[in-house]
Structure 1
Amino acid sequence: MKGIIFAEFLELVEDTFGLEICQQILDENQNDGVYTSVGTYDHHDLIKLIVSLSKLTGISIEDLQEVYGKSVFITLFNSMPGLEGKSDSTFSFIKSVEEYIHIEVKKLYENANPPTFNFISATESQLVMDYVSARCMSHVCLGLIRGCAEHFGENIEITMEPMTADRSEVRFTITYV
Structure 2
Amino acid sequence: MGGVDVGGSSEKRPTNTDINMIPFIDLLMVTITFLLLTAVWVTNSRMEVNAQVPALEGCGESCPKENPATLHVHLDDDTFTLAWKEGAVLVSENKLPKQSIQVGKDGMTAIRYPGLADAIRSEWQRAGAHRDATDRKLDQAVLHTANGTPFSEVVAALDAINAARREMALADGSRIEVAAFSTTFAAR
TM-score (norm 1): 0.28
- Whichever of the two has the greater Rg, that structure is 2
Highest RCO, 1 vs 2 (Cα 8 Å, sep ≥ 6):
1
Q: Between Structure 1 and Structure 2, which shows a larger proportion of strand residues? A: 2
Q: Between Structure 1 and Structure 2, which shows a larger proportion of helix residues? A: 1
TM-score (norm 2): 0.27
